[in-house]
Amino acid sequence: MKLVIIPVTPLQQNCSLLICEASGKAVLVDPGGDVERLKAAVATHRAQPERLLITHGHFDHAGAAAELAEFWDIPIEGPQIGDEFLLDSIPQWCRQFGHPLGRSFLPDRWLADLDEVTFGEERLKIRHCPGHTPGHVIFFHAEEKLACVGDVLFKGSIGRTDLPGGSYSQLLDSIRDRLFPLGDLVRFVPGHGPMSTFGEERRNNPFIR
Ligand SMILES: [Zn+2]
């Protein structure tokens, strides 16, 4: 599987393009904005988008999903249903941040803990990781030991919990009980900033000890 990270929006949110190398089928995780940049990346890598996957309902992660789903005629899957109120308010958040207007949407499929999504010959496992938002999910590829964790965990930091629906204790539980058991060797793409591994963060992240 090939991973391409495309930072989008003024918040430099890491949109991940995951490509099944056997079939060319692909998913985009968190297409938050910069529609033309995402279309160009897909064309450059000759990928065929099969689904759009959403970790959580914040506009910088989900703001371009409705437009791209229509463009490629593909489904949107995720987040967990607890983020419905955030998807409903995408236009308001965009206005507040001076971001090009994103559209509200209902996903074609809400995801739940331990669900799976597939594309081409690849398979991703879902973990529900509330705390940053109530309906936040992460996507885990077991064979590649790779996770897309949105705004749950960053290199050297954790997601904010002061936004609507946030909970600091839930976030720490999600990180300790659902992310770290996936293994120290797992590399992860955070919603913002550089990649890291769960082992590195388990040992050195000052917000978790
Ligand atoms: Zn967020």
Ligand 1 centroid – CA 58 distance (Å): 5
Ligand 1 centroid – CA 47 distance (Å): 27
Ligand 1 centroid – CA 24 distance (Å): 29
Instruction: Give the closest residue to 144 by CA, choosing from 127, 128, 121.
Output: 121
Ligand 1 centroid – CA 135 distance (Å): 11
Structural contact between residues 156 and 13, judged by C-beta atoms closer than 8 angstroms: no
Ligand 1 centroid – CA 132 distance (Å): 7
Residue 156: CB atoms within 10 A of its CB come to 15
pLDDT in tens, 69-102: 999 999 999 999 999 999 999 999 888 887 778 8
Give Cβ neighbours of residue 173 (< 8 Å, ≥ 6 apart): 131
Ligand 1 centroid – CA 133 distance (Å): 7
- CA dihedral defined by 77, 126, 84, 66, rounded to 10 degrees? -20
d(CA 30, CA 15): 5
pLDDT profile of the chain (209 residues), mean per 10: 96 97 98 96 98 97 97 98 97 84 94 98 98 98 98 98 96 98 98 98 93
d(CA 116, CA 123): 7
- pLDDT for 97 equals 81
Ligand 1 centroid – CA 3 distance (Å): 21
Ligand 1 centroid – CA 159 distance (Å): 7
Ligand 1 centroid – CA 149 distance (Å): 11
Ligand 1 centroid – CA 59 distance (Å): 8
> Edge to edge, what strands does the sheet with 25-29 contain?
2-8, 13-19, 25-29, 48-53, 76-77
Q: Which two tokens stand for residue 87?
A: 């998807």
For domain 2-204, which CATH number applies: 3.40.190.10, 3.60.15.10, 3.40.309.10, 2.130.10.10? 3.60.15.10
Ligand 1 centroid – CA 56 distance (Å): 7
Ligand 1 centroid – CA 23 distance (Å): 31
Give Cβ neighbours of residue 11 (< 8 Å, ≥ 6 apart): 32, 60, 97, 192
Q: From the CA atom positions of the chain, what is the Rg in Å?
A: 16
Residue 134: CB atoms within 10 A of its CB come to 22
Ligand 1 centroid – CA 22 distance (Å): 32
Ligand 1 centroid – CA 152 distance (Å): 8
- pLDDT for 98 equals 79
Ligand 1 centroid – CA 127 distance (Å): 16
List the domain boundaries for the chain: 2-204
